[in-house]
Structure 1
């Protein structure tokens, strides 16, 4: 199980952090709502490796069987890697590449007439929010994948 988690988690880390950073860099020239779609698409693509990791474990490592609990465990552990990668990419972007990101975001939202208070998070807090968002999505994808892929003797 450990090798499967490290292999597919590592791929998820590279895919998630790379695509997320690319999306953030491209977002300077596009609408924020399009950037959000790109961000969520990046999360889903990097978390899709959960399905393939569970399938690999079931078919190649565990003789064609995997329980629901074991599959969810594998999926959640794999999702930790893209979550960390996306959190790191977000922190690097908002701390070093574009430290005025949140200020620009708040100004843009206020210019669009957004009347509700907009949270003014620190860079570390936003990275944590990104990590938690990816983990929640990762759990959901793990559960769905586990339900689809579970096989008992």
Structure 2
């Protein structure tokens, strides 16, 4: 099981890192790409973590005599999600601190501009911008930055793991 987790975790992590890199090569870098970048990023996370289903199927093919439980499926998914999350968290640190050190400033300014253009009452706009400014220093911390990216990938992986466990368990019950 461990080799399966490592193999598919590394594949999922590589996909999560490489797709945004390739997308940036084609789209460029800057505030005009942030919205589509978010869509590409989250879509990539979800699609790459669907490899949990592939990993479970592979594990079952390699162990046809073994009944794979919901718990085992969940552990496979959690393992894959952990590896992919660590890879994405590390990539994000390298990106934010070395590749595009102005990214966080641009990203926060992008959101401030969206708030200003939201059409909300001025008092609400000022309140949201003040809150965003407070959060900015928090997110500039490498630990928080890494943790936020890790938790994003890991959280999606937990959901996919639960779904995989449910569907795999259903197939096993019908086969028994």
Q: TM-score, normalising length from structure 2?
A: 0.78
Provide Cα deviations, 1:18-77, integer angstroms capped at 9, x if missing partner: 123334554615432211111101111221111111111122224363111111011111
Q: Single out whichever of 27-36 and 1-10 deviates more from structure 2.
A: 27-36
- Whether 1:18 aligns to 2:18 is yes
**Which deviates more, 134-143 or 55-64?**
55-64
In structure 2, what is the Cα distance between the partners aligned to 1:103 and 1:65?
51
Q: Would you tell me which structure has more helix in proportion to its own residues?
A: 2
2-structure distance, mates of 1:137, 1:91: 20
Bigger Cα Rg: 2
TM-score normalised to structure 1 length: 0.89
User: Is 1:59 equivalent to 2:78 in the alignment?
Assistant: no
Tell me the C-alpha RMSD between the 2 structures: 2.0
Unaligned runs of 5+ in 2: 119-124
Whole-Å Cα distance in 1 between the matches of residues 76 and 46 of structure 2? Answer: 17
Which one of the candidate residues 93, 96, 120 is aligned to 2:95?
93
Over 3 Å counting, the alpha-carbon distance change for 1:55 and 1:8 in structure 2 is same
Is the CA contact 2:8–2:52 (under 8 Å) kept in the aligned structure 1? yes
**Number of aligned residues:** 153
Structure 1 gaps of 5+ residues are none
Partner of 2:2: 2
Does the 8 Å CA contact 1:91/1:123 hold for their aligned counterparts? no
Structure 1: 4+ residue segments shifted above 3 A: 20-27
